[in-house]
């Protein structure tokens, strides 16, 4: 199995796990609720640090003239789960997995909280602008980030593959390190 096949297998595995997670979404409603409420409270704390008033009611966050509800689709539970499963599948040592797992969790949670916080803060000034940030700016940013990184990664893989062909054994060494 060459590098590209392995990579493709990983991508398919990640997709399959993601699909499975989506399928079991309803079964995870309790986890969703806890995640959403935790996220809402975190965003509220962020607002408070910035001197903005906020009131959290379940998964809804209210600020001056604007409110957001963290619905299951946007609490990041599924995505974070997929990221953690993907890390668990990597052939690396347990310490690194743990480190990566914690980093992934904090990053995804932090980015999502930042996204919601931004939408809320913009919304308190202009609902129209918040709609734009929410429906256009952020999706474009995420799509750009995703495709950019995947593209960068693939490019790197191809370059490494070429280098591997030129000097066999590099890949094994790379994984071992």
Partner 1 sequence: MNRNQYIVLGTLAFLGVYSGLKLVRPTESGVVDLQLAPNSVPVAEQLVGGANDPTFNRVEGGTPTQAVDLTEVAKDSQELGPLAQFSGVLTQGGLWHTVDLSQWQQVQGLARSLEFSLDSVGGIDASDAEQLVELLDRSDSLKVKQTLLVALGVLRAGNPLDLEMYLDEPATAAAAAYALGRRGLPEAEFALNERLLYADRFGRDLTNLDLGLASRGFDRFGDLLQLTRQRLAIDWTGSEVTPLELIRDPRARAALQDLVLSSEPEALRLRALRGWANTFEMARAEDRHGVDTGWVADLALSTDSSSDVRAEALDVLGRCAPEDCQRVLERSLKDGAPEEVVLQVLGKMLQLPREEASLTFLDPLLDSGTPDLRREALRLLAHTGREEAMDMLATQFETLDAEETDEVLAWLQSRAQLTAELEYLPSSNGVPDFAVTDSLAASLEASLAGGQLTEEQELAAMQALLHGPRPELALEGIEEAIAGLDFSDPLAVQRLAQITPGLGRPGEQLVMRAYSESTEFVSRLELLQMLEARSASNPEIERFFEQTVMEDLRGELLDQASAPLAFFRRGAQATNLFGSSVVNLFVRYGTEQDLELLGRLPQAFDSQAERWPAALRDSIRASLEECAVRTADLRAMEAIG
Question: What residues from 14 to 33 belong to the interface with partner 1 (CB under 8 A)?
Answer: 14, 18, 29, 33
Q: Say whether 40 sits in a helix, a strand or coil.
A: helix
The pair of three-digit structure tokens given for residue 12, joined into one six-digit string: 């398919």
Q: Which is nearer to partner 1, 28 or 100 (CB)?
A: 100
Residue 170: alpha-carbon gap to chain centroid:
31
Q: Which is nearer to partner 1, 49 or 166 (CB)?
A: 49
The pair of three-digit structure tokens given for residue 159, joined into one six-digit string: 């370059």
The residue within the footprint of partner 1, chosen from 102, 156, 158, 172 (CB under 8 A), is 156
Distance CA 171, CA 163 (A): 9
**C-alpha torsion angle, residues 21, 24, 27, 30 (rounded to 10):** 20
The residue within the footprint of partner 1, chosen from 111, 114, 125, 126 (CB under 8 A), is 111
List the interface residues with partner 1, window 130-149 (CB under 8 A). Answer: 130-131, 134-135, 138-139, 141-143, 145-149
Q: Does 158 bind partner 1 (CB under 8 A)?
A: no
The residue within the footprint of partner 1, chosen from 67, 118, 132, 161 (CB under 8 A), is 67
The residue within the footprint of partner 1, chosen from 38, 100, 161, 170 (CB under 8 A), is 100
Distance CA 139, CA 141 (A): 5
Q: Does 86 bind partner 1 (CB under 8 A)?
A: yes
- For strand 55-57 and strand 66-69, is the pairing parallel, antiparallel, or unpaired? unpaired
Q: Does 57 bind partner 1 (CB under 8 A)?
A: yes
């Amino acid at each position: 199995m060459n590098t590209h096949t392995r990579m493709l297998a990983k991508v398919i595995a990640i997709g399959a796990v993601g699909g499975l997670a989506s399928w079991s979404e309803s079964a995870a409603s309790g986890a969703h609720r806890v995640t959403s409420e935790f996220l809402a409270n975190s965003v509220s704390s962020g607002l408070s640090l910035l001197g903005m008033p906020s009131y959290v009611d379940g998964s809804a966050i209210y600020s001056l003239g604007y409110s957001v509800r963290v619905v299951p689709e946007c609490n990041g539970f599924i995505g974070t789960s997929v990221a953690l499963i993907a890390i668990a599948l990597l052939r690396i040592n347990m310490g690194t997995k743990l480190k990566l797992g914690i980093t992934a969790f904090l990053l995804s949670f932090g980015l999502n909280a930042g996204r919601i916080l931004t939408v809320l803060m913009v919304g308190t000034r202009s609902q129209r602008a918040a709609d734009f940030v929410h429906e256009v700016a952020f999706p474009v940013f995420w799509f750009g980030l995703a495709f950019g990184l995947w593209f960068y990664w693939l490019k790197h893989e191809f370059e490494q593959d070429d280098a591997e062909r030129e000097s066999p054994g590099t890949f094994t060494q790379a994984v071992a390190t």
